[in-house]
């Protein structure tokens, strides 16, 4: 097998737009639960504003800390509906993106940005209502000098992300689901939403008891066999 992979992988299979639209109806929390309680990025990567939401297909970008050359390259080859997922190595000493780049992303139809790095111009980004999830903000600008990679798997927020994977995010955080898996999770997500709605309705009617609790406490050794709270 050849090891001569290009630094920029342009072509990869994406989640079909119809499936993205169906999956976008579910909260990240629901999809994370039905995916086995996995796929959620570390909570330090969060919405620039709590109301921000996004859903789309990942296009991965790896940069050196504080340098955004490869983000510009990714924007040039991204397709509408893509989400820029940027491994910025968690650096907060300078911003990787600001108003100019975010404005271009919105015009290009990019669905949003998720980055393990900082952004700037947060007030302007807020006003344009473009979804950005980052580790924070910093007024310092980036350099544009250092090579990186596009389309290769990245590790961001403790989760491996590949170009083509499904990305969904809201005020709770960011969840990534493998491209091959997302469609199969949709019936499970719908069932969970229905079950949770029924449980909330029951609680509002006074049925507040967690019926599984005594069994779980006995299994954990907190209660003896036959004992209840």
Q: Are 97 and 71 in contact (CB under 8 A)?
A: yes
Residue-wise pLDDT for 81-108, tens only, equals: 999 999 999 999 999 999 999 999 999 9
Q: Are 87 and 59 in contact (CB under 8 A)?
A: no
* Predicted TM-score (pTM) of this structure: 0.93
Tell me the C-alpha to C-alpha distance, in Å, between residue 135 and each of 13, 113, 145, 155, 159.
28, 12, 22, 15, 15
Give the pLDDT mean for 50-60: 98
Give the pLDDT mean for 74-80: 98
Residue-wise pLDDT for 149-184, tens only, equals: 999 999 999 999 999 999 999 999 999 999 999 999
What is the C-alpha separation between 126 and 48, in angstroms, rounded? 8
Residue-wise pLDDT for 174-223, tens only, equals: 999 999 999 999 999 999 999 999 999 999 999 999 999 999 999 999 99
- Within 10 angstroms of residue 206's Cβ, the number of other Cβ atoms is 7
Whether the pLDDT of residue 3 is over 90: the answer is: no
Residue 167 confidence (pLDDT):
98
Q: Which residues contact 68 (CB under 8 A, 6 or more apart)?
A: 96, 97, 101, 142, 143, 144
Whether the pLDDT of residue 1 is over 60: the answer is: no
């Amino acid at each position: 097998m050849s090891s001569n992979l290009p630094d920029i992988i342009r072509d990869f299979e994406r989640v079909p737009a119809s499936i993205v639209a169906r999956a976008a109806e579910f909260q990240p929390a629901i999809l994370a639960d039905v995916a086995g309680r996995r796929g959620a990025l570390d909570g330090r990567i969060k919405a620039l504003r709590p109301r921000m939401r996004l859903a789309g297909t990942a296009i991965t970008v790896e940069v050196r800390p504080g340098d955004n050359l490869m983000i510009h390259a990714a924007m040039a080859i991204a397709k509408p509906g893509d989400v820029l997922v940027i491994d910025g190595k968690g650096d907060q000493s300078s911003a990787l993106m600001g108003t100019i780049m975010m404005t271009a992303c919105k015009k290009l139809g990019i669905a949003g940005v998720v980055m393990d790095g900082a952004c700037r111009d947060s007030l302007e980004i807020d006003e344009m209502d473009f979804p950005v999830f980052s580790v924070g903000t910093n007024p310092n600008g980036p350099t544009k000098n250092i090579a990186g990679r596009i389309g290769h798997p990245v590790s961001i927020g403790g989760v491996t992300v590949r170009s083509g994977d499904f990305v969904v995010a809201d005020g709770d955080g960011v969840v990534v689901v493998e491209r091959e898996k997302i469609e199969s999770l949709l019936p499970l997500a719908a069932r969970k939403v229905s079950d949770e709605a029924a449980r909330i309705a029951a609680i509002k009617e006074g049925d507040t008891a967690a019926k599984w609790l005594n069994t779980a406490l006995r299994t954990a050794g907190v209660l003896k066999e036959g004992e209840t709270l």
